[in-house]
């Protein structure tokens, strides 16, 4: 097996471990950090079911963002939904036979790549054009966008400019899943694309990309507004012991 294949195999095992382990660890930390007080941003739902609805609206239609800023909302939703389609489309490299709905999704996934770029460039443009957003952008914010744009461009290049050996690539990934090394095509654009994706997976759990799991743990959004009806205690507030009463 070539050094290249071994390097990329190791890279993807490491990246997957960091991504899964890192996010799992963060989720564990979020879940186990107490929320001692009730702090939902009101008006808030008064039932669990209502909160699930609120959360669903936040992560599907970006409700708060829509209220806030239509441009960020537009570019944000274009990017995220396109990314979702693209990710689903990529399932075909990991499944044999390819699941039926993934086959049906293929045409959408392919063009979603372009929409993803539009969303990303829109978001990036704001970092230069809007003085307030320029002010709050740090180097890492630009690099993150650069990384995503580079992933999108290298991916689109393989689809529309210089095709890569999809069959061997799929063998490589199916091999990884089965812990059997298969040769990876030594195609420069593919190698760049894969290296960038692995980088993204590795930085995910230590960057602002944590907003993906984090949003579900935000007390201002996920708490039920029922402090009078239900005595809430957690963390330091659980150790409060008030004298008197019955």
Q: Which two tokens stand for residue 164?
A: 């890569």
From candidates 10, 14, 29, 87, binder to other proteins by CB under 8 A: 29
Q: Is 30 in the site for other proteins (CB under 8 A)?
A: yes
Q: Is 235 in the site for other proteins (CB under 8 A)?
A: yes
Q: Which two tokens stand for residue 212?
A: 């993906």
* Minimum CB distance to other proteins smaller for 166 or for 210: 210
Q: Which two tokens stand for residue 40?
A: 């939902």
Do the Cβ atoms of 116 and 149 come closer than 8 Å?
no
Q: How many residues bind other proteins (CB under 8 A)?
A: 68
From candidates 7, 41, 60, 96, binder to other proteins by CB under 8 A: 41
* Minimum CB distance to other proteins smaller for 17 or for 162: 17
Q: Which two tokens stand for residue 135?
A: 């002010």
Q: Which of 14, 16, 3 is nearest to 186 (CA)?
A: 3
Shortest approach of other proteins to residue 142 CB, angstroms?
Answer: 10
Q: Which of 91, 113, 102, 86 is nearest to 170 (CA)?
A: 91
Interface pattern 68-97 for other proteins (x via CB under 8 A): xx--x---x---------------------
CA distances from 107 to 81, 85, 88, 190 (A): 15, 10, 11, 21
Centre a 10 Å sphere on the Cβ of residue 107 and count the other Cβ atoms it contains.
11
* Minimum CB distance to other proteins smaller for 163 or for 208: 208
Q: Is 25 in the site for other proteins (CB under 8 A)?
A: no
DSSP class of residue 178 equals T
* Minimum CB distance to other proteins smaller for 18 or for 98: 18
Q: Which of 160, 50, 73 is nearest to 123 (CA)?
A: 73
Shortest approach of other proteins to residue 191 CB, angstroms?
Answer: 25
Residue 230 DSSP SS3: coil
Q: Which stretch binds other proteins (CB under 8 A): 101-109, 156-164, 181-189, 229-237?
A: 229-237
Q: Which residues 6+ apart lie within 8 Å of 45 measured at CB?
A: 51, 53, 54, 224, 225
* Minimum CB distance to other proteins smaller for 7 or for 41: 41
Query: Which chain residues interact with other proteins by CB under 8 A?
Result: 26, 29-30, 33-39, 41-46, 50, 58, 62, 64-65, 67-69, 72, 76, 123, 126, 130-133, 135-141, 143, 203, 206-208, 210-211, 214-215, 217-221, 225, 227-228, 230-233, 235-237, 240, 242, 244-246
């Amino acid at each position: 097996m070539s050094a290249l294949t071994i390097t990329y195999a190791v890279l993807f095992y490491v990246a997957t471990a960091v991504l899964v382990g890192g996010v799992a660890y963060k989720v564990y930390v979020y879940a186990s950090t107490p929320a001692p007080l009730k702090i939902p941003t009101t008006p808030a739902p008064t039932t669990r079911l209502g909160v699930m609805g609120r959360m669903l609206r936040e992560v599907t239609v970006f409700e708060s963002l829509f209220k806030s800023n239509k441009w960020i909302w537009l570019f944000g939703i274009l990017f995220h939904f396109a990314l979702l389609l693209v990710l689903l489309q990529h399932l075909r490299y990991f499944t044999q036979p390819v699941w039926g709905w993934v086959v049906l999704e293929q045409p959408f996934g392919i063009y979603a790549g372009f929409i993803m770029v539009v969303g990303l460039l829109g978001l990036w443009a704001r970092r230069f054009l809007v003085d307030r957003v320029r002010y709050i952008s740090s180097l890492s914010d630009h690099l993150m966008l650069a990384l995503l744009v580079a992933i999108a461009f290298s991916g689109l290049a393989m689809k529309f400019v210089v095709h890569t050996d999809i069959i061997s690539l799929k063998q490589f990934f199916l091999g990884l899943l089965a812990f059997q090394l298969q040769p990876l095509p030594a195609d420069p654009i593919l190698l760049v694309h894969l290296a960038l994706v692995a980088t993204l997976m590795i930085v995910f759990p230590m960057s602002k990309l944590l907003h993906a799991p984090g949003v579900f743990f935000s007390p201002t959004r996920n708490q039920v507004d029922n402090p009078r009806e239900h005595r809430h205690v957690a963390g330091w507030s659980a150790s409060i012991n008030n004298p008197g009463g019955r």
